[in-house]
Structure 1
Amino acid sequence: MAETSRRNKRRLRRPMSQINVVPFIDVMLVLLIIFMITAPMLQQGVEVDLPEAEAEALEAEQRAGEPIVLTVTAAGAMSLNQGPLVNEPLAGPQMIEIVQDLLAAQPGTQTFVRGDRHVDYGRVMDAMVALQRAGAGRVGLLTEPPPRDAN
């Protein structure tokens, strides 16, 4: 009986050589779930269904800075991709003022209109006229290429 108690004491004094990975896996799964939940919330921008057109893509001009893109949603709301109110609905005069400030800071910046395919043509024209009033010399329209046939 004395020998069994000595064996038990020896077992108790040995260092544990196994690593318990279950808590590590638990933490990793919790982090994975957090990232899976928050990733869709990080999408920025305004959802617009662009029209399709069979046109050649324009070469990006070698200018520093991001182009100014005015988005017109299907509901007719306008928003900019730059400035103090990024992707926020803007009224005409407010939008013109912001574009003027952006063009004054970086003259010659490219300007584009992203109009939803379901918005009235007149609303897209209003956006283009507003950009030209703000000082944009040339205004382009953004489209998506048509789907390719799988022949």
Structure 2
Amino acid sequence: MHGPFNRSGRRKPMGEINVVPFIDVMLVLLVIFMITAPMLTQGVQVELPQVSSEPIDDAQDNDPIIVSVDREGDYYLTLGDDDSQLALDELTDRVMTLLERRPGTSVLVRGDRNVPYGQVVTLMSRLQVAGVANVGLISEPPSGD
């Protein structure tokens, strides 16, 4: 007699594992992550200007300091995953302190395209007073029309 039973009526162990339920669970998780991943964007919602430019070659090991100005003109300081809204004076003090602790850290400005030009220039001027030698501007590549 063939099958999983031997002559004594006992079941012999199966050497196969049914992986179909595992595959089903993995596909469901894949769909869930594909749907939720675009919703997990970090940072301040800023509509960046679209220009063509070369990416910055940042060979440093530490994360850059990102200063953002949103559509309403509020200032944000981003360090890694931490976003905090600050007044302009408080922001420049924090940047100065961070640069004292980590000299050579890149400082990048994300300015919403709808913010008045003068407000971004004022921010860059205040960063220069705080000790930032070079300020990088973040933009998005133009969308292919």
TM-score of the aligned structures, taking structure 1 as reference length: 0.68
Q: Calculate percent identity across the aligned residue pairs.
A: 48
RMSD: 3.3
| Structure 2 residue matching 1:126: 3-state secondary structure | helix
Q: Structure 1 45/15 Cα, relative in aligned 2: closer, same or farther at 3 Å?
A: same
Q: Structure 1 25/64 Cα, relative in aligned 2: closer, same or farther at 3 Å?
A: closer
Counterpart of 2:118 in structure 1 is 122
Counterpart of 2:43 in structure 1 is 45
8 Å contact 2:66–2:110 — kept in the other structure?
yes
Q: Structure 1 70/11 Cα, relative in aligned 2: closer, same or farther at 3 Å?
A: farther
Q: Structure 1 34/61 Cα, relative in aligned 2: closer, same or farther at 3 Å?
A: closer
Larger radius of gyration: 1
Of 131, 136, 141 in structure 1, the residue corresponding to residue 137 of structure 2 is 141
TM-score of the aligned structures, taking structure 2 as reference length: 0.70
| Structure 1 residue matching 2:79: 3-state secondary structure | coil
Counterpart of 1:78 in structure 2 is 75
8 Å contact 1:112–1:141 — kept in the other structure?
yes
Q: How does 1:58-69 map to 2 (within 5 A)?
A: 59-60=56-57, 62-69=59-66
| Structure 2 residue matching 1:79: 3-state secondary structure | strand
Residues in 2 aligned to 1:46 and 1:145: alpha-carbon distance in whole angstroms = 19
Unaligned 5+ runs, structure 2 = none
Counterpart of 2:11 in structure 1 is 14
